[in-house]
């Protein structure tokens, strides 16, 4: 065999091996993509397919059950995804199943994940529609992380300011922790508040007593009117008393002169003393008349008549 025939033989073997590898590859891909065997179509709608593409795997409970056969726009904000799934697995997908888009690993290709549903007993039909969940994008996660970092920075600054305030010798917290006198004052204040609260608790039942004055003032209209009349009368009496007091304090008034004018007071005292002396003289004259023999009989008869009347 010459060299030319040997090269042709090698070429033929290479071509045959290539064709076999192509057939095997097509077969494997066909199995994975459900190109062979009986399949059914399932639809789901998304606002964002998040990098999902035709040929991406469809998984149910972690097992690949089909592939994405078509992706098309319904509106400018809604995308229809058609799924090609093996017929024999249709019985495990209920009408309340939910589709969502995930990743094959941390940074792998996008896959469509179906949650089979549990509340419904009805299974999906060919070309049926299932609900979908919005996808959490890595950009959204990064935005959330960034926002959290910004919030953490703000909190750190606030904590730093709080620490400075707390360490300030003139600050309230610093005084509470360091100044014993100030802490004792605060403690006494709280104790007084506690005592006042206890007194208020004791006073409340009295306040709510239906027979109590305050409760009757608030509730009993007649009692309130009577109390108002009493206060009005008391006010009038106070006004009259004030008028009487002003008269007493008038310099031309007799009572005022008796109180303030010493000369008038001495004169009145002297007059009363003379009246008392005169009264004693009259009593002595009366006793002398009674003992006189000419008038003694008259007084004796008068005395006997009075005793008879008794």
Domain boundaries, the chain: 33-135, 251-293
Q: How far apart are CA 288 and CA 280, in angstroms?
A: 13
pLDDT bracket for residue 294 (50, 70, 90)? low
**Neighbour tally for 140: CB within 10 Å:** 11
Residue 218 has pLDDT above 80, yes or no: no
Looking at residue 289, its pLDDT comes to 65
**DSSP secondary structure of 271-300:** HHHHHHHHHHHHHHHHHHHHH-TTTHHHHH
Contact 62/111 with Cβ under 8 angstroms? no
> CA 194 → CA 7, 127, 180, 183, 190, distances in Å?
109, 74, 21, 16, 6
Looking at residue 11, its pLDDT comes to 73
Looking at residue 305, its pLDDT comes to 80
Cβ-based neighbours of 223, under 8 Å, separated by 6 or more: 216, 217
Residue 139 has pLDDT above 70, yes or no: no
Residue closest to 99 by CA, chosen among 134, 55, 64: 134
Sign of the torsion formed by the C-alpha atoms of 254, 259, 264 and 270: positive
Looking at residue 251, its pLDDT comes to 63
**pLDDT tens digits for 19-78?**
888 777 776 665 555 555 688 999 999 988 878 899 889 999 888 899 999 999 999 889
**pLDDT tens digits for 175-198?**
666 667 777 788 888 888 988 888
pLDDT bracket for residue 230 (50, 70, 90)? confident
Mean pLDDT for 132-160 is: 80
Residue 118 has pLDDT above 70, yes or no: yes
Strand-pairing partners, residue 82, are: 43, 70
- Per-chain mean pLDDT for the chain: 78
């Amino acid at each position: 065999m010459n060299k030319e025939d040997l090269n042709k033989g090698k070429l033929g073997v290479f071509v045959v091996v290539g064709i076999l590898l192509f057939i095997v590859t097509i077969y494997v891909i066909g199995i994975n993509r459900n190109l062979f065997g009986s399949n059914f179509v399932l639809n789901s709608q998304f606002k964002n397919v998040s990098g999902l593409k035709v040929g991406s795997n469809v998984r149910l409970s972690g097992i690949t059950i089909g592939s994405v056969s078509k992706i098309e726009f319904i509106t400018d904000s809604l995308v229809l995804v058609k799924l090609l799934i093996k017929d024999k697995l249709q019985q495990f997908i209920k009408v309340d199943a939910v589709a969502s888009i995930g990743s094959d690993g941390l940074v792998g290709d996008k896959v469509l994940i179906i949650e089979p549903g549990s509340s419904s007993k009805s299974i999906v039909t060919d070309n049926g529609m299932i609900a979908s969940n919005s996808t959490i994008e890595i950009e959204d996660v990064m935005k959330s992380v960034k926002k959290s970092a910004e919030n953490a920075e703000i909190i750190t600054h606030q904590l730093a300011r709080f620490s400075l305030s707390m360490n300030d010798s003139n600050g309230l917290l610093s005084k509470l922790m360091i100044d014993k006198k100030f802490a004792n004052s605060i403690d006494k204040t709280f104790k007084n508040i506690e005592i006042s609260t206890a007194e208020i608790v004791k006073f409340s039942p009295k306040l709510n007593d239906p027979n109590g004055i305050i409760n009757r003032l608030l509730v009993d209209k007649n009692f309130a009117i009577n109390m108002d009349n009493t206060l009005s009368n008391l006010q009038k009496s106070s006004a009259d008393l004030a008028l009487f007091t002003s008269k007493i304090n008038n310099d031309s008034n007799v009572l005022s002169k008796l109180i303030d004018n010493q000369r008038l007071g001495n004169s009145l005292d002297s007059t009363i003393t003379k009246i008392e002396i005169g009264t004693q003289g009259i009593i002595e004259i009366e006793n002398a008349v009674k003992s006189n023999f000419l008038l003694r009989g008259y007084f004796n008869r008068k005395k006997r008549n009075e005793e008879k009347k008794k």
